[in-house]
Amino acid sequence: MSLYSELKRRNVFRVAAGYGVLSWLLLQIADVLMDTIGLPDIWGKAVLGLILIGLLPVLVFSWVYEMTPEGVKRESEIAPDSSITLHTAKRLNIAVIVLLVIAIGVFALDKFTAAPLDTAAPTANTASSTAGIPVVAVLPLQALSTDDEGIFLASGLHDDLLTRLARLQAFKVISRTSVMEYANTTKNLREIGAELGANFILEGGLQAIGGNVRINAQLIDAASDEHLWADTYDRELTTANLFEVQADIAGAIAEAMHATLSPMDVEQLGRVPTTNLKAYEAFLRGVEFSEGLTMSDIHGASAANREATELDPEFGEAWAGLAFSLIRQYWEEGAEDGAAPNNSLIEESRQALDRARALDPGSVSTLEAETYFYYYGFRDYSSALISLGQAAAIAPNDVRVISLRGYLLRRLGRVTEAADALLRSLQLDPKSTSLIRETVDTLVPAGRCDEARTLINSGLEQHPNDDGIIISNAYVAQVCDRNMDAVIQSALRVEISTRQQLRRTTGNLIYGRAFDKAIKRLTDARDSWVQRPIVLLMIDNYLSWLYRETGQLELAEQALQSGRNQAAQISDRGVTSLMELMTHAALEGDVEATRQFGEQAMNAMPRDAWRVTGYSYQIGKIYALAGLKDEAFSVLENIRYDHGYTVLTLMEVDPFLNSLRDDPRLQALREKGAAQVEAALLAVQ
């Protein structure tokens, strides 16, 4: 008998076929798990490796052994007339067919129901990127009454309507951030549709008269300017009526676009989260506050949501809003930097989240609050991704869900996937300056410079005077283009008003050797808006170093003395504060204190792949400033350079590393980092 015939008789080919189909299914399951709970890419490679390793033993087993009614026996021990390989072959055929049917079903489900991920850099018109799913832009509602209540209600209802429409699966909705610039615009609807990438535009107005409200709305085809639907609603001003009007508008939009609301969509629109109008108004104030960036905004959101829950203790969305604002306060008050903030905020947030879970389990609002609770409260990014995945199953087109996924992936070090998610969210929020900045700042360390250039140029065209976008433009010029003249020019354009802006622009001027200009920026900030000791210490540290470099030794000593006064007032031990104290010790020439603060800073670094590279570089350069070369290299050599494109650029231009320039270890380190960067780029192509 030939080898081929014997392989066929012993069912080796059938076993191989079944193993192949089963392996494909396992790889699909691994891919879903990685995407859902945030497992690193290495898990998929590990599953593939185990499958490949297992192939040969399985084939050898099918050749050597045979399944018999008495159990597994070696094939050589079975008489030819006692073999049941034909019967086994039939059973294997059935198993392979069943596996093939399952595999075809999984393929069809993935092919025809999964939402496409368009990772191309967005342009002014992104309608083509969302082909097949209608895109709606809801313009700000006009307040047709001049009293404060009518104006507030128009703004709040517009925000809430956008939120509820964005959670429907029948169509996509442009974010409020992007549509707000069209309030009282003189542009025609075709222009607006083209700029936002929207197929349809909803516009309308609201008038509150005593205890009644009138809402008018109309839907227009953005390309043809054709009116598809219009209606006016006169209702008594109650929450039930407001939610009913929102549901009617959503249904009319879907019908006009020939879209079908899913049972889940209908269920969401039919919900009345509160019947207490005052509680709803307090909730809307909380939503408005939550869009702000200052601590007063965060405190305002907590106060408004707390008021809403007191007015209606059964208001689940308000409890979710309270849980989010409290955990955000915890994060902003020091948790992000690894400081020891007010831990009681975690417990308060947990209690609010538990109430939201009890009253409104499985809702998008509750799941988003749960996501942030894991994220901001514990840096538990995998648990946060699980909660967010549940929210995405309900609201796959919600820009906040999509962008939050990008930020979580970034914290896990999955920068390329994070950039893809943020690019996708930009399709629904193309005018958002913060989202443009964050996406550019993610594309650059991912090595995707062409996309970063395209996006930052578009951002500058739309928002030429936005300080954050100007700073991101300097980032692209520095890392991608090595154009230090452009970096300096961008730094000089920024109207500095925050600590982060001051640090980045000062750093850029120092990298470009524009020392006098850096001194001017720092002294202007010190003499105008800066009050916090930690920011003043940062300024004094920079000035002490800059004055030394420019030969102004008396001014350098004055800055150093001022730094001593500021350092004495700093009690928190977050990584940012520790690095400033470490820098001050290095400038003082206190080697032992530099080491102590450096060790504390390394220990205080949070579990955060997005931040750890930058923190490690800063600590390494401070060691170099103090002349502690071995300590500097000990830190710099342990940086992950697969996403360290920025660090490699800084090593070329940062004067704080001058003490290492003649050390052969620096060149070896740069070569090692460049090789890791190249490998990372090849891995994602």
| Range of 202-211, 288-297, 452-461 with top mean pLDDT | 452-461
CB 375 within 8 A of CB 405: no
pLDDT over 50 at 102, yes or no: yes
pLDDT (0 to 100) of residue 30: 65
Closest CA to 645 of 446, 511, 485: 446
pLDDT (0 to 100) of residue 643: 61
CA 388 to chain centre: 11
| 645-653 vs 467-479: helix crossing angle, rounded to 10 | 80
pLDDT (0 to 100) of residue 111: 47
* 40: number of Cβ within 10 Å: 14
Once rounded to an integer, what is the mean pLDDT over residues 138-165?
A: 82
List of residues 6+ apart from 336 with CB closer than 8 A:
606
pLDDT over 90 at 563, yes or no: yes
List of residues 6+ apart from 106 with CB closer than 8 A:
25, 28
pLDDT (0 to 100) of residue 638: 87
Once rounded to an integer, what is the mean pLDDT over residues 216-224?
A: 90
Token couple for 468: 């954050």
pLDDT tens per residue across span 354-388: 999 999 998 999 999 999 999 999 999 999 999 99
Q: Which residue has the higher pLDDT, 55 or 498?
A: 498
Q: What is the DSSP string of 413-440?
A: T-HHHHHHHHHHHHTT-TT-HHHHHHHH
pLDDT over 60 at 130, yes or no: no
pLDDT (0 to 100) of residue 143: 83
Once rounded to an integer, what is the mean pLDDT over residues 582-610?
A: 94
CATH architecture of 131-269: 3-Layer(aba) Sandwich (3.40)
The pTM score is 0.78
pLDDT (0 to 100) of residue 598: 97
Q: Where in the chain is the domain with CATH 3.40.50.10610?
A: 131-269
- How far is 373 from 326, CA to CA, in rounded Å? 9
pLDDT (0 to 100) of residue 607: 82
Token couple for 111: 């092919």
